[in-house]
Chains A and B, each alone.
Chain A
Amino acid sequence: MKHFPDDIEFRPVRAQLKTYRQIYNVLSMVSFVTVFTVAAMIFNAQADPDFWHGLSYIPAAWTLVYDLGVIILTPFQVRVHGWVEQSDDILIRSGAIFRNYEAVPYGRLQFVNVKQGPLQRKFDLADLTITTAGSTATISGLPTKEATRLRDDLCSRGYAKLAGL
């Protein structure tokens, strides 16, 4: 979005998020494609092979194409993903092709959640989810220390600027 002002300095998330996401993507691609292919083969083995039975491979093919696309896009997505703490709100940027900017005023936040899975812990990554009364906003791939710092900061600022509903 070229109309978005470019003088806002977004802080990038950890580069290891790329590695983590790619491991995740490859694992999910391999397992889903395998499952769908095996299912299609079993289905085809039940009846006489016919031209239309080729259609049963569509789920596997679609998963493969989609996941390949995700794998290609992931480095760009990680590079774009970032946040900036402004004086009154936090601004989050995400999306490589379909860019998304989200602003959450500190006074609106209901609670802040930091989440970390076993693989994420390996790479020192954490997901921070901010919940308001309307919806949520997520920053993924923060260093654990930064995530806890941000959580405490957001909470104290949220209390100071408390706006409720």
Chain B
Amino acid sequence: MTEPHRPAEQPWRRVHPISPFIRSWSVLLIFVYLITSFSVRELQSFIEAVNLSIGQSLLIMLGIVVATLVIAAGVYAISWWFYQFRITTDAVELRAGVIFRQRRYMRLDRLQAVDIVRPFFARIFGLSKLSLHAADGAETTLTLEYVRESEAERLRREILYLASGAQDDPTLDPTSASDDDTSPAFPGTATAVPDYPYADYLAQYVQHNPHGLNQDVEAPNQLRAQQAKTPSRELLTIPFSRVVGAAIVTGLSTGLMTALMGGGVTGFFMWLGARDDGFQAAVPFGVLMLLIFVGIAVFTTLATAFAQVNTNFNFTARTSDSGVRVTSGMLSTSSHTIPPGRIQGIQVTQPLMYRYFGWYRIQVTVAGYGLADPSTTVLPVGTFDDVVMMLSVLAPDPGIEYASDLLYNAMKYTSDDDGFTCVPARARIWQPVAGRRHGYRTTPTLLLIRFGRLRPNLAMIPHERIQQSAVHQTLTDKLSGTASARFITPPGPVRVDLKNQEPAALVQLFFQEAEIAAHARRISDKNQWMAPEELETFEKAAEKARVAGESA
């Protein structure tokens, strides 16, 4: 691992021997319970039939238990022996199973995120689960369960290092101990913009995003040298008081919902009973219902609050060469690493109950996580400063000065006082509350879409991350002469639809975004975020395809 070129043939490795037991301990528990209860009943009739003494029957009992354990241990040993994985230069492979063979092969350049999760039971044994998320949705996650905590950390570093495409450069090896900073002074940033279509837009992009086009295209070697060995930096920690506060607030709102529902049902029964010809048992029944619902409300409040505290306890975010890293958890802990350029969209929201405290939540769309994964939340509860700090790492440079002002205005105000569009007055009837806030705005690097008045929500999508765009008209659009659009990213929590906007401007935005998406590869190439030859291979492939197209 220390030599610059890894041998292509890597040995197969195995996980921790105890892991089959941890994977299936609940199943084992049920199994043991069934076996013992069954054999006790069998034994009783057997004892009665054969007249055995207590000692003899106990011995038989013990024999059954031991036999079960031995069989279980044997099965576990076999399952452990055949659960193997290896990490080669360009893929992680996993093979498991004896009768039903399972073979997983995940290319490292498709890697989207790395999670280390420690469920409570595994944590007792000091073990962790390593999940590798690929680009093709939630089903393609490759999980290695379970390895020692230190081993998990080492594997994570190794995989990220290999995925970064930097293995040809020994100075970048995370395992080598050289500390000398050999990076030369960064060459002048005023390099000419390459002659791409849409050049003026790109010029702004380059001007405001010095880590974008210039270095990737012009001077990859300097880029690598400069980025080498950036020390990991802690961004923020959420204080325990805020975690508890947010948990109570969220728990209360969930509980309140339940209570409201209960109140409604109770009221209905009271009303039934209060009528003259009503059925008399309704009032006591209603009271009973009320008590039950209050009980449920208290329970949901406590459960939600505890779950929140458990997940968000000791929440820490850091940044390093291999991306953003978020760790949290009390009973079961987890750590998520998202390499650079894997974030498809960012969303800052302020739930209703957070408004009084001035708290915000950040969610991201990452291709491997999908829609409902809790790890899409990269900041569960934070102040405005925390939001700005996280965004400085998550989002590229917004391309304008005073980005935090933009963010503040976007979250707080309506379009009368900032650069966002809004729903035109003739269509306001379809969005009476949020209409003045629902709109979009573009910066050289980002498309910002804002929703909601009671629960402000700001979605930020880097232009080059938009996969596909559509502009269409719904019934309400037809009636008021407006248009709607969707800027589709991979599935995730970030909202990407625009409704009831001024059609002329929206069509213009549609064409702009389509054009930027068409040249996206030129702007940002992040499959292996440190490999300079990546772009060359692309050029070669393009040339080959062009020649093939001509000869055909």
Contacts and interface: CB of A to CB of B under 8 A. Distances in A.
Contact of B472 (A101, A105, A157, A164): A101
Contact of A3 (B478, B491, B504, B541): B504
Contacts, number: 115
B91 to A, nearest CB: 17
A143 B541 CA distance: 30
Nearest to B505: A3
A1 B507 CA distance: 9
A10 to B, nearest CB: 14
Contact of B518 (A3, A88, A160): A88
Contact of B527 (A2, A105, A135, A164): A164
Contact of A108 (B468, B471, B474, B506): B468
B488 A134 contact: yes
A163 B520 contact: yes
B367 A98 contact: no
B468 A103 contact: yes
B515 interface: yes
Interface residues of B, number: 42
B549 interface: yes
A3 B549 contact: no
Interface residues of A, number: 36
Contact of A89 (B472, B473, B488, B514): B514
A1 B472 CA distance: 8
Interface in A124-165: 132-135, 137, 156-157, 159-165
Contact of B515 (A2, A88, A134, A162): A88
Interface in B417-464: none
B521 A98 contact: no
Contact of A102 (B344, B367, B468, B515): B468
Contacts of A134: 467-468, 488-491
B541 A162 contact: yes
B23 interface: no
A1 B521 contact: no
A99 interface: yes
Nearest to B109: A164
Contacts of B475: 98
Interface in A70-107: 87-89, 91, 95, 97-107
B518 A135 contact: no
B135 A165 contact: yes
A160 B344 CA distance: 22
Nearest to A107: B521
B538 interface: yes
Interface in B468-525: 468-475, 477-478, 483, 488-491, 503-504, 506-507, 510, 514-515, 517-521
Nearest to B487: A134
A4 interface: yes
A2 B542 CA distance: 37
A5 interface: yes
Interface of B: 112, 135, 342, 344, 367, 465, 467-475, 477-478, 483, 488-491, 503-504, 506-507, 510, 514-515, 517-521, 527, 538, 541-542, 545-546, 548-549
Q: Nearest 4 A-B pairs (CB), nearest first? A: A88-B518, A134-B488, A160-B545, A134-B467
Given A100-B470, A100-B472, 12 more contacts: A1-B471, A98-B472, A103-B468, A103-B517, A105-B467, A156-B549, A157-B545, A160-B549, A161-B542, A163-B520, A163-B521, A164-B527
Interface of A: 1-5, 87-89, 91, 95, 97-108, 132-135, 137, 156-157, 159-165
12 contacts: A1-B473, A88-B518, A98-B472, A98-B473, A101-B471, A102-B468, A102-B469, A105-B514, A133-B467, A163-B520, A164-B527, A165-B112
